[in-house]
Structure 1
Amino acid sequence: MSARAMARLFAGKGLTPREMVALAGAHTVGFSHCAEFAHRIYGYRGAAGYDPRLNPEFARALQRSCAGYRTDPTVSIFNDIVTPRDFDEAYYKNLPRGLGLLASDAALWEYPPTRVFAERYAGNRTAFFEDFAAAMQRLGAVGVKTGRQGVVRRRCDALD
């Protein structure tokens, strides 16, 4: 999905492009299964065979690491290969270097209305933290059912 399409999707939920980019910063932690991005590293149209938005060394390393993903669907890669266990702004610093794992990550850098926020967060950890917290609060209110429309659960994973 393009960043423009993602922005429209988020707008439909009442969220701004700024909030969308801040929320994408959650990719600074966690991992993605190779199947989620295999289309970027195998059989990609073009001479190299991988998405040209990827750093070539990174793309080749992904190809090696994900080689067995079809037989072992649990094979995964950290979303942020620089500081995978830290919640920080490194995710945004990775984008212009071609180190965004998912196509949606690369799309944020390519689209000027979202790139401006990615650049801001790459250079300002405090701005990222503040905007992420505010965006998470707003996201938490999306689709909340009230009155007789919803159910208050004692356990999140079960209807009582």
Structure 2
Amino acid sequence: MKGNSPHVKWAWTVLESFIIQGVYPDIPGSLSTELTSKKAGCFVTLHKKNGDLRGCIGTILPTKDTLAEEIRDNAIAAATRDPRFHPLSKEELNDIIISIDVLSEPHECSVDDLDPIKYGVIVEKGWRRGVLLPNLSEVDTIEKQLKIALMKAGISPDEDYKIYRFTAKRYY
């Protein structure tokens, strides 16, 4: 399933170029202005058609000059460097669904400011950090959202940690 948004179409172009041809693609001049003029952190998530996660890598803040570069690098990383999965094979490409979450800048907040449908969460203690995107089907309470983010960060719930929230626009 190739998706309709320019974000997801670009991610498909990237994956097909990199996985099938072994070519790291340059940014084409024909990409939409939103992708070539905007800077933002983003997450690229790969799911199997049955709904199982197959890879997810992202950046909280922009690390590249354009959103197109951010999507390109995160798509390749989600397909090849997510430590939970082996690298995506050519044979698996037809069984993948891509979504892209473009993140707002995170802001420090309290637990009372969270809403797992509307906001993603970042928990942080020193160098340890856990991130969870908003509006995930299995995360319907603040308690679940924080529990998962803390577990990802290796932070105990009784430690003193910072909480940040962000919004994300999801593209399919």
Alignment TM-score > 0.5, same fold: no
Structure number with greater Rg is 1
Q: Which of the pair is proportionally richer in strand?
A: 2
Higher relative contact order (CA 8 A, sep 6+): 1
Q: Which of the pair is proportionally richer in helix?
A: 1
Q: What is the TM-score when the length of structure 1 is the normalising length?
A: 0.21
Q: What is the TM-score when the length of structure 2 is the normalising length?
A: 0.20
